[in-house]
Amino acid sequence: MIPPLFQNLMEPLGDAFMINKGLWILNHNVPCSCACRYCLLRSHKKAENGVPYERGKEMALRFDEWRKKRKPDDFWLSYTIGYCADYPELVDNIAFNKAFDYIGFRYLQINGIRFRSEPELFQYLKDAKDAGVTHVDTSFYGLEEYHDRFAARKGDFQYLIKILKVVQKLDLKPQISIPLFEDNKDQIEELVSLLEEYVGSEGAFHIFLQDYRGYGEHLERVRLLRRSYEALPNKIKRYMNLSRYKTEEKWLRDGNFPKYTSRNLHLVLGPDTIDMLEKMTCDEIVDYLVGLDEAYYEAIPDIHTLAGLYGNIKSQKLYRQRDLQWKWQKRYIADHNLKLHDVTDERLCGSMRF
């Protein structure tokens, strides 16, 4: 029986026409030196699922020719290497994505690269800058002991500090991302004050709550509560965009879940798929990815129905809409023992609806 509060959530909205906005070609062929508790790719310091760099590049070149037949602003494209930016073709990849006019070529996410001396770091980052990188993104998880434990690498905190010093010397723009949890919230003010030395008092800090994807789904125990957010210093609140978050209770009481109308497609290249993909045309590959997306979402009720089934009206934990939807979807899949290709798993071919 559906509780009265949820009756208004059960109205069918119908499926809006989904627009394919762009394509990430993902090649996870580089091991990461960290294994963070919050890793979307579930890194375990190995890379077993990628293909040689040049083979992936050929796939990206095919799609570049394919999209040139479309409107120039109609479909974006990138060729992205994971699990971290620690591979010999990095400079080539930056230039390659720059040629696609992919804005992401300017941003280098640097967590998880191997330990280097300061001169080695300087050359590594200078080469990236010369290729077109303007911003270096680092993720800090808390103060030193907490951070190193979170990243599963002793010395990682001090290594990131070393990286920020080199970033300063090269006049690159640092961006610092900090996931906020119940068990690190009391460290964040001190952490930001410490890092301001390297980015300035108006530095580009981005504080956010974890996705319900990858290892993030195992961190619900420490998901931030509304009262914990309210207790944060204003200095910290200004770096967090609260407008995208509501408590689960608030989402349910409002009953307003905007309909997704667009999606980005993820083409993950691996030894078990590359031969098949290379025999397909670009149109066939897009149809394949769209088919995976639609099969997944057609097998699971829409978010309004899921809210009626699984919504917790007492929950004061903060979520983005997509995280609640992913959480409820996983519960529905488990409850009904569905065997689905998980398009939300960034290790697999799939999609991101928005």
In angstroms, what is the C-alpha Rg of the chain? 21
Pairing label, strands 318-319, 246-247 = antiparallel
CB atoms within 10 A of CB 37: 19
Residue 139: give the domain boundaries.
4-353
Q: Report the domain count for the chain.
A: 1
CATH number for 244:
3.20.20.70
pLDDT (tens digit, 9 = 90+) per residue, 202-243? Answer: 558 999 999 999 999 999 999 999 999 999 999 999 999 999
pLDDT of res. 137: 96
Report the SS3 class of residue 46.
coil
Quick check: helix, strand or coil at residue 305?
Answer: helix
Name the stretches of the chain with pLDDT < 50. 1-15
Where does the chain have alpha helices with state H?
53-67, 90-99, 118-131, 144-151, 156-169, 188-199, 226-230, 234-237, 248-254, 274-278, 282-298, 303-310, 321-335
Alpha-carbon dihedral sign for residues 146, 82, 285, 103:
positive
pLDDT above 90 as % of the chain: 89
pLDDT at 14: 41
For residue range 138-179, list pLDDT tens digits in order: 999 999 999 999 999 999 999 999 999 999 999 999 999 999
CA separation for the pair 84, 263 (Å, rounded): 24
Q: At what angle do helices 53-67 and 90-99 cross, to 10 degrees?
A: 10
For position 269, what pLDDT does the model report?
98
Helix axes 282-298, 53-67, angle to 10 degrees: 90
